[in-house]
Amino acid sequence: MNVISVAIIEDNETLRKSLSDLLNIAEGIQCILALPNLLNVVSEFRKQLPSIVLMDIGLPHISGIEGVRLVKENFDNVEVIMFTVFDDDEKIFDAIKAGASGYLLKKSSPSEIIEAVFSLYNGGAPMSASIARKVINSFHNNTNTPKKTFSLTTRESEILHSLVDGLSYQKLAEKYFISISTVRT
């Protein structure tokens, strides 16, 4: 099994250390770098390049949203999960537009954080349930875009609604008697 290398960029020292400890005890994940800000991120990533970054939005000097742009411009294969207290639409969509592949609220449980890392590594786009709901609602409310019809089976629709309601991939796999990778696709 490949070990997923993760960097944490979080200005709160206690939280940064806790996240690092959490990731390092999870089998298959290693926190290779934990930084308080984005000032030296490019030079640090040139020394040790992570696969995934957990990044706060409210960072000193350079915001997390600008940080996503900076990381993606220099290391386009590195995936970024925003890890923040901000759940307002503007920050969510600015982060996604900047290149973030996931968006977790800091109130996420340790297991949700670990699951998000694995999900992103395996091609998913992890989001806290309330964030996923906001993203879906924005598509429902967007009248400027031509309407496209997507054909989902009843089961696919049920799984999608369960994801929006916050069920984990593991719980969905158990509920529908399918593999976790099937839930992701």
Structure tokens at 3: 């070990």
Q: What is the pLDDT of residues 59-95, one digit of tens each?
A: 999 999 999 999 999 999 999 999 988 777 788 889 9
Q: How far apart are CA 139 and CA 14, in angstroms?
A: 37
Tokens 């031509």 correspond to 146
- Residue 96 structure tokens: 């996604």
| CB contact at 8 A, 181 and 169 | no
DSSP-assigned letter for residue 77: T
- Computed over every residue of the chain, the mean pLDDT equals 88
Q: Give 4-127's CATH code, choosing from 1.10.3210.10, 2.60.40.650, 3.55.40.20, 3.40.50.2300.
A: 3.40.50.2300
Lowest-confidence region among 2-6, 81-85, 89-93, 150-154: 150-154
Amino acid 145: pLDDT? 53
